[in-house]
Amino acid sequence: MNIAYVRISTVEQNESIQLEGLKKYDIDNWFSEKVSAKDTNRPELKRMIEFARKDDTIYIHSLDRLATSTKDLSGIVEQLQTKGIHLVSGKENIDTNTEAGKSMLTMIGVY
């Protein structure tokens, strides 16, 4: 299953760039929220991680939509990895379905 996660920090921001960028991935299920990424205590993020199953792929516009700290990003990626869920970030061109994608996350210290 292809799953998308879209996050904006404030209600004044617009998620249209993220939505448009993720359309090409034939998304089956969308999770969206308007909340700061100051921590990982976000309802839709938690719901998405609980919903996703082995071999699903989560698509995000960019890594900063998932987390703003390397520590938080690392924790989220570890949760996904433990469940066998793949991650694709369009802006950074990272796809953990590939060795190159795994290497990119390793280089930034989160895989």
Residue tagged active-site, from 9, 32, 62, 74: 9
In this predicted model, what pLDDT tens digit does every residue of 70-100 receive, in sequence order?
889 989 999 999 999 999 999 999 999 999 9
> For residue 12, is pLDDT > 80?
no
Rg (C-alpha) for the chain, rounded Å, is 13
Q: To the nearest whole number, what is the mean pLDDT of the chain?
A: 91
Query: Which is it for strands 2-8 and 86-89: parallel, antiparallel or unpaired?
Result: unpaired
Could you state, in order of their start, the residue ranges of all structural domains in the chain? Answer: 2-107
Q: Does domain 2-107 have CATH number 3.40.50.920?
A: no
Which stretch, 16-20, 26-30, 65-69, has highest mean pLDDT?
26-30
3-class DSSP assignment, residue 38:
coil
Tokens of 107: 């280089």
> What per-residue confidence (pLDDT) applies to 103?
86
**pTM for this entry:** 0.91
**Catalytic annotation present for 16:** no
